[in-house]
Structure 1
Amino acid sequence: MKISELTVRYGTFTAVDHVTLDVPPGSALGLVGESGSGKSTLARAVAGLTPHRGSVTGIDRARIQMVFQDPYSSLNPRMSVGHAIAEGVGPRNGSVARRAEIERLLDLVALPAAAARKYPRELSGGQRQRVAVARALAARPDLLIADEITSALDVSVQGAVLNLIRELRAELGLSMLFISHNLAVVRYVTDTVAVMRAGSLVEAGPVDEVIGSPRHTYTRTLLDAVPRLQRH
């Protein structure tokens, strides 16, 4: 997928300013920056959820799925887990095959088949986020966008969800746009990273290079906020 000169404006305010990036098949690009940097707006534009200028090529927009920050608000509280995932699976191959696919997807995100009968209120935050991931994967996306998917979770379960994302990448060969304000998280999950500030791209490259030898002062500021990533 290639993002070319993508721009999002709200009246006179420019939220994303002429951003150009590549996400090769099977790779994970991390978008990092503080709140208000434009990274989530860029992701929503890539997914076709926000009007924009510029282009997104090399992918069918219908084959992009997004997982949002708050798993509870993104799931219908009146819909069971099985029905929520079934929306992504669709009517293909009849009800028996659909149930089997729901069980396969639950297993893929390390949830038992019995979870299909539960409702979001009966699950923990980490379990709800796993359901959100399973629902996104049900559509068999060519690109998965993960927007701050651990920031609303307890610290105790954030690592488990990040490990799940790494495992899914390895197993499925997923292409991913992974959004976070935390460079340590981005380093753990992605191959390359793009640093955004005030809607503009200030630095991009292989994640270890950007963290090891940052070129922009803003990137160094982000690094200073994560003690274990500070350079010596």
Structure 2
Amino acid sequence: MIINELTVRFGDVTAVDRLSLTVPEGTVTGLVGESGSGKSTLARAVAGLVPHRGTVTGVDRGRVQMVFQDPYSSLNPRMTVGDAIAEGLRVPRARRGAETERLLDLVSLPASCAGRRPRELSGGQRQRVAIARALAARPDVLIADEITSALDVSVQGAVLNLIRDLRAELGLTMLFISHNLAVVRYVCDAVAVMRHGRLVETGPVDDVITRPRAPYTRTLLDAVPRLVRN
């Protein structure tokens, strides 16, 4: 996926300013920055959810799926888990039950979850359902927007491990958004650092973390004291 000169404006405010970024097929690219840097706005523009200027090529817009930050608001409380997942399936109706069960297994949830509603699940389970629902559409690109920040610390690691496992099993192409460089280092191949709607640094994740060029990147690193630099 190639993002070229993408700009998003809200009135007089420029949220994303002529940003260009390549997400190579089969890789996970991290997008990091503080709150308000424009990360989520960029993600929504790539997914076609907000108007923008510039181009996104190398992927059909209908083949981009997002997993949002808050699993409590991203699922319809009136729908069962099975119905929520089946809504995005691109298989004949007769196969939807089996495919829903396969997707639940893929995200390490029992088939019995299909008949439950979101309120009956934990936050971590809801986020797994949201991931399964996004995968149901067989996306070419999956965008994960701060998908662990609303979860308890005790389950964040399990969801990150799931992302690593899915990437290895499915060969996913992902744009992984986070404010935490330690998290990005754990799941990503490359990283792009964003500030005030622009990129300030990009490169292989270990290179950026161990040899940051931009002062802003060093500031983000200093905010993660437990991140070990080689």
> TM-score interval w.r.t. the shorter chain?
over 0.9
Task: Give the conservation status (yes or no) of the 8 Å contact 1:4–1:55.
Answer: yes
Aligned residue for 1:15, secondary structure, equals strand
Considering only aligned residues, what root-mean-square deviation do their CA atoms show, in Å?
0.9
Aligned pair partner of 2:139 in 122, 132, 141 = 141
Aligned residue for 1:163, secondary structure, equals helix
Aligned residue for 2:184, secondary structure, equals helix
Task: Give the conservation status (yes or no) of the 8 Å contact 1:224–1:230.
Answer: no
Equivalences for residues 16-165 of structure 1 within 5 A = 16-90=16-90, 92-95=91-94, 97-165=95-163
1: CA distance between counterparts of 2:119 and 2:228?
A: 40
Aligned pair partner of 2:227 in 209, 226, 229 = 229
2: CA distance between counterparts of 1:11 and 1:144?
A: 29
With the length of structure 2 as denominator, give the TM-score of the two structures.
0.98
C-alpha deviation, 1:228, in angstroms: 2.1
Deviations 1:18-75 (A, max 9, x none): 1111011101110000000001100110001011111000100000000000011010
1: CA distance between counterparts of 2:228 and 2:164?
A: 23
Q: Match of 2:193, as an amino acid?
A: V
Task: Give the conservation status (yes or no) of the 8 Å contact 1:37–1:197.
Answer: yes
Q: Percent identity?
A: 78
Q: Match of 1:22, as an amino acid?
A: T
Q: Match of 2:157, as an amino acid?
A: G
C-alpha deviation, 1:161, in angstroms: 0.2
1: CA distance between counterparts of 2:226 and 2:148?
A: 19
Aligned residue for 2:88, secondary structure, equals helix
Task: Give the conservation status (yes or no) of the 8 Å contact 1:211–1:229.
Answer: no
Structure 1 unaligned residues grouped into runs of 5+: none
Aligned to 1:203: 201
Instruction: Point out the structure with the larger helix share.
Output: 1
Task: Give the conservation status (yes or no) of the 8 Å contact 1:223–1:230.
Answer: no
Q: Match of 1:76, as an amino acid?
A: N
Q: Match of 1:2, as an amino acid?
A: I
Q: Match of 1:7, as an amino acid?
A: T
Q: Match of 1:32, as an amino acid?
A: V
2: CA distance between counterparts of 1:231 and 1:142?
A: 33
C-alpha deviation, 1:230, in angstroms: 5.6
Aligned to 2:214: 216
2: CA distance between counterparts of 1:55 and 1:209?
A: 28
1: CA distance between counterparts of 2:60 and 2:144?
A: 18
C-alpha deviation, 1:94, in angstroms: 2.7
C-alpha deviation, 1:11, in angstroms: 1.3
2: CA distance between counterparts of 1:25 and 1:132?
A: 22
Aligned pair partner of 2:185 in 184, 187, 211 = 187
Runs of 4+ in 1 over 6 A off after TM superposition: none
Aligned residue for 2:109, secondary structure, equals coil
